[in-house]
Structures are given as C-alpha cells and as structure tokens.
Amino acid sequence: MSSGLRIANLTTACVFGLLLTAGGVLAQAPAAPDGTKSRDIQLKRRESSNPTDIKIPRGYAVVIGVSEYQKIDPAQNLAFPVSDAQSFYRALISQNGGGLPAENVHLLTGQNATLGNIRHEIEVWLPSVAKDSDTVVVYFAGHGLSAGKRGYLAPWDVDPNSFDTTAYPMDTLASVLADKVHANWKMIVVDACHSGKVMPGSTAESLNRQVGKASKGLLTFTATREREESFEDPKLGAGAGLFTYFLVQGLQGNADKPPCDGFITADELIDYVEKNVSQYASGRNRSQHPTALGDFDGSVALGRSTVCPSPVTSTAQDSGSLVVEVNMDGVDVYLDGKLVKKINKNTPLSIPGLAGGSHVIVGVHEGYDPDTKEVVVLPGVKKGVSLRIRYASEHPKKAQALLDRGEALLYHRSSSLNVAAIYSKSRQTNDDLKKAREFFEAALKEDPRFAKAAYDLGQTCTLLSDSKAALAAYKEALHIDPSYVEARVQYAGQLIETGEAAQAVSELNEAARLEPRNDEVLAQLARAYLDDDAWQEAAKAAQSALAIRDSNEEAVLWRGVAYRQLAAAEKNPPARAQLSGHARDDFQRFLKMTNFSSPIYSQA
C-alpha cells in the first residue's frame, strides 16, 4: 500500500489491550428510554486525588514477545512482537519512563518464551513478590488464538494441533492476577495478532470476546472499537504496532500534559494513546480508535517524565510530529538522546506523537561529523527535518597531535569492567596519566567535536580514580557521538562503580540495541544486572554473550555469579543443587580460561 501500512484483514486482525485492575467495579450502560440496555461497558473514572500527592508505586513486570514460532508455519511468523516487547521493556526500566528497577522486570522473548517459562513467571514469580501496594504489569506481543469463547496467548512452543494444552489461556491469566497476585494495580498489555490460517475458526470477534471476559474487574484499554481493523506500520519508528508505539512514546514522557509536573498519569497516558493512534490512522485513510473501559483513579502515576512542553505550547491539547530525511544511507537518527532507527536517504522517518516544545534530532554516520538540529514541535503540525552528513571526521592537526601524545602515555585496557584488568599491574605512573589528561583536555579545547579525545580523557580519569571527571568525559563523548558504543560501555562501567547500576543497565541495553551481536556489550550488561540484583536477567545476558562467542571469559564468570545468587534464593533443594553445580562449573571454567587465581573466586 502507498501508505506503507500493513493492514490486518478481518481474519488476521490484531487485538491490542491494556487492562488495569483498580479494585473497582465496571459500570454498565444505563437503560434506554424504551427499556433496552446496552451491553457495552462504560468508562467510570474515579475522582482524581490531589496532583501534588502523586508518587509512583513499586512495580513488577513480565514482558513477553514472540515473532517466530517453533511449530507454526513460517509464513505466519510476525514482524515486530519481539522488538515491541523490547521497546516496552526499555520504557519500563528507563528513569524517563516507568522507572522500575531492572531486577523487577523479567523479559522473555523468542525461544525463551515457552509455555513453561510463561507459567512460572506469571503463576509463581509474580505472586511471590507483589504486595498490596504494588503495581503489576504483564505484557504479551505475539500470536493470539481462539476457539469458541476461549482465547489463548501463543508461546514460542505452541502446537496449533493441540493449542488448548500448549497455549496460555486468557481466563487463566485473568484469574491468576485477580486471585493470586496481591497488588493494588494490575496491568495486562496484550498485543496479540491471531490468524485463521494458524488455527481454523479463529476470528477477531471471538478473541475480542475473550479479552472482554477477562476484563471483568479490570480497566480495559483496547486498540480498536469492535469490528475495527488494527494495523502495524514498518515505517513507524523502527517498525511497530501503532498501539505499542504510542504506548511507549507516552510512557517515556510525551503524554505529560501542560502544566508539566514530571509524571505520566493513567488519564494522560490513555488520552495520549487514544488521540495519537486515531489521528495517525486517519492520516492514512484508516480508522482505528482505542477505547478505555473500567473504573479507576485517573491520577495514578504510571511513569516519570522529563519532557516539558515549552511556554508556546502550554495550552496545547495535541501532539506534533517530525519527518526526518537524510542525505546518505546508513544514518542513525537520535531523538532527545535515544536511537530511533537507522535510515537511508530515500526513506524518510516519521516520528509522530511528540510533546509540544523543543526536541533535539541528531544524525550520526561512522566516519563523519554528526549533524544536530534543535526543532520546536507544534501541536497538530507535521514538521520536516533535514539532516545533512557532509564532513568526514577530520580533526585539526594540532588536536590530532595532542591526542597522539596523550595516547602514547595512556596504557589501554580492554574495559574498565574487565576482571583481570582490575588486578593487572599498570604500566603508567600517575605523572604519565596526569600529563595524558592534559593532552586530551587540550585536544578537546582545540576541537570540541573530538569524541575520541573525550573518550580517552574518560579512560585516563578512570585510571586516576577521578570518577566524577570520568563520567563527565564519557558523557561528553556520547553527546558528540551517540553511536559511540565503547564510550557507552565505559560510561556504564563508571555508573556501576558509583552505585548507579540501574542507569548502567539502561545504557548497556542501548549499547546492545546498537550492536546486538557484540558479546562484550552483553557480558558487561550481565555485570550491570548483577550489581542491580537482577540475577535472572544477568544469567540471560551472559548466556546471550556466550551464544555469540563461547570463549568470552567475563560472560562465563558473570553467569556463574548469577547462578550462585539464584541458588542462594532457591527454596527447592534439587533446583538449588543444580544451580550451584552450574555456578561451580562456570567458576572452574573461568579459572581455566584465564589462568587467574584469586581467593575471591577459588572458594566457589
């Protein structure tokens, strides 16, 4: 289609829903004058509390995404569920978003999203951690199946020939959250496309009925009205379902209405998603209207925001959009410091749903100076932005000479997070490092756009134990070049050393997004998760690193540490013994790989 949208037909319609338990009842539509009564359930919002009393409750989440299936015809695989789940996960753990600790969010994607793992996370883990005052989120993106009046979510290992025993029933999910998970607010985000070709007899209406049935006692936020089509757009950001895209955009701050108070409330998020999905679809001659049903306190805070509209838009009710074009292929486009997508010169990038006010757009291409534009987004206005990558990254000779002199004094270690490097003897003196620092500072003064000089300055300050200066230097390197993965990894390392593990996790997730096949990044992500007490996520990150390069000794070590922590928390003796055995094997393997001996690890 000319619009670039891929529309689901009536037999492959996608059902998107956000269901929140708020401990209330759903209001039924009043009787009509003739005595008839609508079967629709109307939205009943409780009176909002004082906005100055807003605070975000503690939360836990399970995020699931499946694009490709083990036993389903490959022709029925989906495009965006895994990336949508990852986007929602990043939004939940971002400080400018849901603000949840990484250890409180468990991510299952692809082959890890088996029926057994899904059951464990929802039916065992969530009930064991959630308390009455908490918020609980369950997100699923993938295929949905339905038969008769019962709907199912399809895990990676679902068997279409026996889906009633290999898929996860929606009514089971609803009953577990209602009866076993003790939390004040419960959210289920379902982004499930189902297909009659996958399971004969599946229809949009039957799955909608099941979602509606599961919505008793819940606030339901669905992507469409009854019988409307839902769609996804490969040109929207990096490609996404409309509902999930705007849900993430809103949670990351764009839903914060003037006056900007720094919080995203339920009312704000719902209004933002409803308006932007319908406007975006309408602009492409399509009809899609998210609908909210339920009984809830609209002032409950669901996320934090640092996006504040400028005074010129202080009374604006609508968001605006940007269309970014570039002059060469392979340009990474960043919006307010976050990577949106790599685009080519003939494929403009649409970024809708932006809060009114000032935003910074940066185009980055390796080997060239980045182009930065600050633009003001106006409500209801689509604004074009042209990024021009023109100049090769050639630095003044004096700046380059200063860098070379500094690097001659600087002994490079592969990473400030490298375990063996911590105990290795430095070949520089403090005087050498202080001189190197002066050279790098002088190089930056000569050329403020010299990202390598900022990076080397960070390395030097790290070795001089000046954490504050190192953080500032790495941050400057990333400001100059947001795609500088090594700088992002080292910045995360300093964050870990200064006790900011949660922020380090966020930075390393971004680095992994930039270079998903970089095993060193994934190994450092495992380390960050460990410092953030997210043992399961640490083990998964380390395993992902080893799947790419089996000889990554740091990944072996961090996986062993994660297994040891999981064993300490495990109550089942056989499972605890198995985890302890895995930890012991990894520690022994690490020692053989590195010839490294330390009392810290030899006792394991």
For position 235, which CATH number holds?
A: 3.40.50.1460
- pTM of the predicted model as reported, rounded to 2 decimal places: 0.67
pLDDT digit string, tens, across residues 444-490: 999 998 998 999 999 999 989 899 999 999 999 998 888 888 899 99
Q: Is the pLDDT at 55 greater than 60, yes or no? A: no
CA atoms within 13 A of residue 551's CA, in its CB half-sphere: 2
Asked if residue 562 and residue 578 are part of one domain, the reply reads yes
Asked if residue 296 and residue 323 are part of one domain, the reply reads no
Extended strands (E) in 101-212: 105-109, 135-147, 150-153, 168-169, 185-193
pLDDT digit string, tens, across residues 286-304: 887 777 665 566 777 777 7
**Cα–Cα dist 538/310, whole Å:** 40
pLDDT digit string, tens, across residues 146-159: 776 677 889 999 99
Provide the pLDDT for residue 455. 92
CATH code of the domain covering residue 595: 1.25.40.10
Asked if residue 247 and residue 317 are part of one domain, the reply reads no
Asked if residue 341 and residue 454 are part of one domain, the reply reads no
Q: Is the pLDDT at 36 greater than 50, yes or no? A: no
**Cα–Cα dist 31/34, whole Å:** 8
- 57 CB neighbour count, 10 Å cutoff: 14
Extended strands (E) in 378-467: 382-387
Asked if residue 413 and residue 537 are part of one domain, the reply reads yes
**Cα–Cα dist 116/215, whole Å:** 24
Task: Determine whether 414 is exposed, middle or buried from the number of CB atoms within 10 Å of its CB (0-12, 13-18, 19+).
Answer: exposed
503 domain residue, yes or no:
yes
Asked if residue 354 and residue 292 are part of one domain, the reply reads no
Boundary (domain end) residue, out of 304, 323, 357: 304
Write out the residue range of the structural domain in which residue 432 sits: 397-602
CATH code of the domain covering residue 336: 2.60.40.10
412 domain residue, yes or no:
yes
Contacts of 517 (CB under 8 A, 6+ apart): 548
**Cα–Cα nearest to 526, from 544, 514, 510:** 544
Boundary (domain end) residue, out of 353, 387, 421: 387
Q: Is the pLDDT at 515 greater than 90, yes or no? A: no
Contacts of 367 (CB under 8 A, 6+ apart): 392, 393
Instruction: Specify the number of domains making up the chain.
Output: 3
- Name the pLDDT band for 318 (thresholds 50, 70, 90): low
Judged by average pLDDT, the poorest of 50-64, 217-231, 265-279 is 217-231
Question: Greater confidence, 230 or 554?
Answer: 554
Task: Please tell me what DSSP assigns to residue 299.
Answer: T
CB 68 within 8 A of CB 115: no
Asked if residue 251 and residue 361 are part of one domain, the reply reads no
**Cα–Cα nearest to 522, from 470, 559, 483:** 559
Contacts of 600 (CB under 8 A, 6+ apart): none
For the residues 97-107, what does the mean pLDDT come to?
87
Q: Is the pLDDT at 412 greater than 50, yes or no? A: no
* 232's tokens: 């996804």
CB 554 within 8 A of CB 535: no
Share of residues in the chain with pLDDT > 90 (%): 26
Provide the pLDDT for residue 295. 58
Asked if residue 246 and residue 159 are part of one domain, the reply reads yes
Contacts of 603 (CB under 8 A, 6+ apart): none
Boundary (domain end) residue, out of 387, 405, 432: 387
Asked if residue 105 and residue 210 are part of one domain, the reply reads yes
Asked if residue 443 and residue 296 are part of one domain, the reply reads no
Task: Please tell me what DSSP assigns to residue 29.
Answer: P
Asked if residue 155 and residue 173 are part of one domain, the reply reads yes
Asked if residue 352 and residue 468 are part of one domain, the reply reads no
115 domain residue, yes or no:
yes
Question: Greater confidence, 270 or 36?
Answer: 270
Provide the pLDDT for residue 193. 54
26 domain residue, yes or no:
yes
Task: Determine whether 375 is exposed, middle or buried from the number of CB atoms within 10 Å of its CB (0-12, 13-18, 19+).
Answer: middle
392 domain residue, yes or no:
no
51 domain residue, yes or no:
no
- Name the pLDDT band for 56 (thresholds 50, 70, 90): low
1 domain residue, yes or no:
no
